[in-house]
Amino acid sequence: MSDKSIGQMIEDKGMTAPRITPADIESNISSEHYFTALDGVDGHFRGGPEAQGVRNAQALSLLTFCVLVLRNGFTVTGESACASPENFDAEIGRKVARRNAEQKIWPLMGYELKQRLHDAK
């Protein structure tokens, strides 16, 4: 079940208490950045002799990272690993990594909302 369909169920049931929505998550993201583990290794060793013949280059190229920078500057990460090189697709890897990063925002924003509700009492 997607986050949007769960949100729709909540609305359909007439639940109106404060909550975090998918739109809240999206609006809290300031920027997004993607790279593979191989990109990271290449960047680390850029120009040096170690950049030649990176060990396990194919395996590193199948691991995609997403870094989401939130409005307050906090960062969350998501990963996507592909087991079969034949199935690797960069676009799908980025989408899976982003979804995994987004899932880490929910508890952070949930805590923030709970604290605001507590402080308002």
Q: What is the pLDDT of residues 14-73, one digit of tens each?
A: 998 999 999 999 999 999 999 999 988 877 666 555 555 678 888 999 999 999 999 999
pTM of the full structure: 0.86
Residues in the chain: 121
Helices and strands in the chain: count of H runs, count of E runs: 5, 3
Look at residue 4 and tell me if it is in a domain.
no
Element (H, E) at 4: helix 3-12
Separation between Cα atoms, residue 26 and residue 3, nearest integer Å: 12
Q: Give the domain extent around 80.
A: 20-47+56-120
Q: What total number of domains does the chain contain?
A: 1
Look at residue 71 and tell me if it is in a domain.
yes
| Structure token pair of residue 107 | 């508890």
Look at residue 37 and tell me if it is in a domain.
yes
Look at residue 97 and tell me if it is in a domain.
yes
Interval 103-121: pLDDT, tens: 999 999 999 999 999 999 9
Look at residue 61 and tell me if it is in a domain.
yes
Contact 86, 103 (CB under 8 A): no
Look at residue 77 and tell me if it is in a domain.
yes
Contact 68, 32 (CB under 8 A): yes
Please give the distance of CA 65 from its chain centroid, rounded to a whole number.
Answer: 8
Look at residue 101 and tell me if it is in a domain.
yes
